[in-house]
């Protein structure tokens, strides 16, 4: 699963590739909780790296599918 996080007042977008078995609703809940109650959002990517994102700097979060699941071309 791909996760894109926009950083406020910056053109940068953090792109994190999460494990395929990560629950989408769990990620949403984790983001919402960090925005409400925490100063940071901790995530672990597919390679086991830890990511720390300051909650106050999060402009948007896009939760998508992995590249392997994306369709290419004009399929129906």
Answer yes or no: are the C-beta atoms of 58 and 7 closer than 8 Å: yes
In angstroms, the CA 58 to CA 23 distance is 21
As to burial, measured by CB atoms within 10 angstroms (0-12 exposed, 13-18 middle, 19+ buried), residue 5 is: buried
Q: How many CA atoms lie within 13 A of 11 on its CB side?
A: 0
| pLDDT value for 27 | 93
Residues 35-73 have pLDDT tens digits of: 999 899 999 999 999 999 999 999 999 998 655 555 556
For residue 1, pLDDT over 60 is answered with yes
């Amino acid at each position: 699963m791909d996760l894109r996080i926009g950083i406020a007042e910056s053109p940068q977008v953090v792109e994190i590739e999460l494990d395929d078995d990560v629950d989408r609703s769990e990620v949403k809940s984790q983001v919402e909780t960090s925005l409400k109650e925490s100063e940071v959002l901790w995530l672990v990517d597919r390679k086991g790296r830890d990511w720390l994102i300051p909650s106050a700097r999060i402009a948007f979060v896009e939760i998508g599918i992995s590249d392997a699941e994306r369709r290419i071309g004009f399929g129906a």
